[in-house]
A and B are shown apart, each in its own frame.
Chain A
Amino acid sequence: MLNDIRYAVRGLRKNPGFTAIAIVTLALGIGANTAIFSVVSGVLLRSLPFADASRLVQLNETVAPFGVGVVAYPDLEDWRRQSASFEAMIAYVPETRNLEDIAEPERIATIAAERGLFRMLGVKPLAGRTFRDDDAPNVVVASEGFWKRHFAGDLSLNGATIKLENETFTVIGVMPDRFQFPYRAFRTELWVPWQAAPKWEHNRNYHADGVVARLKPGISIEAARHELAVIARRLEAQYPDTNRGRGVLITPLSEAVAGPARKSLLVLLGAVGLVLLVSCANVANLLLARATVRTREVAIRSALGAGRLRLVRQFLTESVLLALGGGLLAMVMAAWGADLLLQLAAAQIPRSWEIGLDWRVFAFLLGTCIVTGIGFGLAPAVAAARTDPHSGMKEASGMSRGRGRLRDGLVVAEIALAFVLLIGAGLLLRTFVRLQTTPTGLVAENVLTLHVSGHTTASRYHELEQQITQIPGVVAAGFIQFLPLQDWNWTSHFTIDGRPPETPAGQPVAELRYVTPGYFRAMGIPLRKGRGLTDHDTSDAPPVILINEALARRFFPNEDPIGRHTDRGTIAGVVGDVRQIGLGHAPAPEIYYPVAQNVAQTDSGLSLVVSAKLPPEKLVSAVRAAIHQVEPTQVVFNIKTMKRVIADSLSDVYLYLWLIGLFAALALVLAMAGIYGVVSYTASQRTHEMGIRVALGAAAADLFRMVLRRTLVLAGAGVMLGIAGALAVTRVLAKFLFDVKPTDPATFAAVAVLLGCVAILAGLIPARRASRVDAMEALRYE
């Protein structure tokens, strides 16, 4: 074996060009795979960093017709009392709070959680302690990042305090950076103790709490699910008005965290796996060509007594060494690629801070090297070992018909794989273009958005709106509770006076938004009927609402909704539809409330929308100054243009388009190199034949066409195979597509044409070379 390795190393060193090309080709494939696998491993395979994490579950309520949602606190209390399957159930509420008493107030992501949270998760602080049951409400546990930023990382806490929205909190502990709960797109920096506010404590209609729970040892999820279902039915009987049709959903916490990303990651892993196959096919082709050149060497070895197995082993040693060389380079590429991916897509990848190159990734890398080394080396090794010593020693070169077919087959496979990836990229590109051109219902040109921390009065919002409108260049300004296109919805039932009462499941449902009067003008949302909101719609005036066209169409198809009364207020006007949740979601029925009549609903702050005559970036400081002039303590954050907001809403599609496009481009380049290699090699093998053909009357154009025809035959076969493959696998992309079918004929046709052009391009040089063959030389060659 050592001899095999020595010969292999010597052979590879003697052919630096071949070795370099093979190693780089493999490194591209293995590196891309390792980078994606490191993400898959960090997100899907690594267990959550909590004690006995497999017993942690997330609890949700299912409420018709809204589907899965968070939990109503009284229901949670009943589960706790009646269930025997859980060690603990902990409620928490994600919040953001203003950090004050510092130079520039900050908006901080916080979690208000019941005091047993850290104990139940089984995590230890980096310094200090976590919550105790007897802790006062004004203690806080900080993240390591927050602590470093604000207290220079001094781990002797010494009764350090911070001020959150006018309340002083004592920092009792610091959690290490690797700890994060709950998992969401951004990191939580502070945890504060929480208990249900009295007003919600008995309200079974108010679903606001995330719940994480720990199963007792030995209790299966199925058993707990069954028990909670029984309890839910009991509560349904006990509280029919609120709990009819209500169920409980138990999800393993690891699944709740990683589940939403699972399919996307597996699709990416599959896509990058195709790139690896293309790399392998390319290197196998190179090895086959090399094996042809080495026919004489193999024949001599056979004649000297080397058995087929021995020859196969020698060739495989060489291919595995190549793969390991590729693996070394791949490791660097993977580290770089994974870093780049996490920088670009931290928000889309859960647990992104836990992703890194660990033993699993190294094991994957090593395994991939060995498997690919054997995979791409086996066919050339067997082909070489089959060389007939007698003819092999007579012919210094020349490819057998079988080997030629194998090389053709590999190129066809490469083209087919590249086709599948290109179809994926093409479908995503079409989706992206469709989404970008989908009417949003609003005018994003020259619109600035930002978030203010809120906690102020209706009159102050009015004053802020007026103040900002005075800024030179500003056309209009207004507030809304949640900006459109945030992949966020808040739905609720409503009733229309005069309509017969319906079951909870059949009651009208609408999206709810709280706005100030200037919002619609600032966002360019047209008023279709009735009137808009005015400064007179205050808490002293009768409650009014605006509805969108979708609601009018759905619930007032043949009547004028203006003036109709609902339990949410009287309908004063109808405004245009806006794609609130995302560009891929059709506008849903929607109710706009005036903030002035519902200021209590703005506790989490409001988004300000400012439309201007000039580029919105130029207005930031003026707007910020105007806000602080009215409300010096307001924290201003999330400053973006509306165009950026729209672009961000497409970041998921863009990320997958970018990645699949990158893999497709890589596969296309490799396939192009493969086509070039095979056609060029075959043409050079046929030099003699070309000479004969010239002697028999072939013109340069005939030879050119002959070589190009062969290229197109290979490409055609690859495309046909690729179409079959793409039809089989592109449906996994359906989740990412919008208004485009996975079998979109236009995309298939465009990709086929693209591959045809690429094949022609790859075949041009060998064809041109063939057309210039010197017949005399070619005939003398034999």
Chain B
Amino acid sequence: MIRLHNIEKYYEAGYGKTFVLRRITLEIKEGEFVTIMGPSGAGKSTLLSILGMLDGAWTGEFYFAEQPVHKLNTKQRVEINKKYIGFVFQSYHLIDNLTVYENLDIPLSYRNIKSSERAGMVCDVLDRFHIVGKKDLFPNQLSGGQQQLVAVARAVIANPKLILADEPTGNLHSAQGKEIMELFKKLNDEGTTIIQVTHSETNAQYGHRIINLADGWLVN
């Protein structure tokens, strides 16, 4: 599903370059559950942003579902994001002034889906994640675990082939974290490819393999 070859990311700094990622070459197959680990500043979140098409300023070759991302323009990359990818963040990143229902509707609203169809999809997800009773609440009326549950629900609502999760349990206590990880496991079992960034060894165990990063390099 994903092939990276010599991906590099750097910032111009004074007379030189500060590298965030160096010669990253890796492959992730469809249906895998991959964990990216490494110390702070290793480039984990940057790599996730590149995989999620949020960052376009890098060099190297990147194939996503056999499409050469490095040759695509921004608009085409946004289309790949919309078609294949769902995001889950450590800070949930729900939109404060929208209800749970409206937050779930956002990804669909960017995918040219009719509003009647969207309503059905949102209701399905509310039901599937057992959050129907919370649909009219605002994010600040939910606990952290509930917010992350909504965030995961939002990530899967458009049926993505790939879920990118950046420290999804970082702000949750262990019981809530376990619940979310079980959810990822279930999604993966159902066929969704999952790439998570985490510091937690326990969470890493949910994945099939671990990719370690240090100072921007892939390490064994």
Contact = CB atoms under 8 A, between A and B. Distances in A.
A698 B82 CA distance: 8
Given A689-B95, A695-B54, A776 B110 contact: no
B158 interface: yes
B81 interface: yes
A346 interface: no
Contacts of A782: 91, 93
Interface residues of B, number: 24
A401 B158 CA distance: 30
A490 to B, nearest CB: 72
B86 to A, nearest CB: 8
Interface string A106-144: 000000000000000000000000000000000000000
A699 B75 contact: yes
Given A401-B97, A776-B54, A776-B55, A695 B74 contact: no
Given A702-B110, A775-B54, A697 B93 contact: no
B95 A697 contact: no
B111 interface: yes
A697 B55 contact: no
Contacts of B154: 696
Contacts, number: 51
A697 B54 contact: no
B146 to A, nearest CB: 18
Interface in B79-131: 81-82, 87, 89, 91, 93-97, 106-107, 110-111
B78 A699 contact: yes
Contacts of A688: 93
A401 B46 CA distance: 33
Given A401-B97, A692-B95, A776-B49, A698 B54 contact: no
Contacts of B89: 695, 779
Interface size band for A: 10 to 19
B52 interface: yes
A99 B110 CA distance: 85
A401 B140 CA distance: 14
A700 interface: yes
A691 B89 CA distance: 12
Contact of B107 (A696, A699, A775): A696
A760 interface: no
A774 to B, nearest CB: 9
Contacts of B107: 696-697
A693 B106 CA distance: 8
Contacts of A702: 110
A696 B106 contact: yes
Given A697-B111, A697-B158, A699-B78, A692 B54 contact: no
Contact of B82 (A401, A689, A691, A697): A697
A425 B8 CA distance: 61
Contacts of B111: 697
Interface in A757-782: 775-776, 779, 782
A694 interface: yes
A232 B86 CA distance: 95
A369 B28 CA distance: 69
A128 to B, nearest CB: 81
Contacts of A776: 46, 49, 54-55
B113 to A, nearest CB: 11
Nearest to B49: A776
Interface in A649-692: 688-689, 691-692
A697 B110 contact: yes
B164 to A, nearest CB: 9
B30 to A, nearest CB: 20
A684 to B, nearest CB: 16
Nearest to B107: A696
A688 B95 CA distance: 9
B112 to A, nearest CB: 11
Nearest to A700: B74
Interface string B28-60: 000000000000000000100100101100000
B81 A697 contact: yes
A776 B9 CA distance: 14
Contacts of B110: 693, 696-699, 702
A693 B108 CA distance: 11
A779 B96 CA distance: 14
Contacts of B78: 697-700
A693 B94 CA distance: 10
Contacts of A695: 52, 54, 81, 87, 89, 93
B58 to A, nearest CB: 12
Contacts of A699: 75, 78, 110
A779 B81 CA distance: 16
Nearest to A696: B107
Contacts of A779: 54, 89, 93
B137 to A, nearest CB: 16
A408 to B, nearest CB: 13
Nearest to B80: A697
Interface of B: 46, 49, 52, 54-55, 74-75, 78, 81-82, 87, 89, 91, 93-97, 106-107, 110-111, 154, 158
Given A688-B93, A695-B52, A697-B81, 8 more contacts: A689-B95, A692-B95, A693-B95, A695-B93, A696-B106, A696-B110, A699-B75, A782-B91
8 contacts: A693-B106, A694-B54, A696-B107, A696-B110, A698-B78, A699-B78, A776-B49, A779-B54
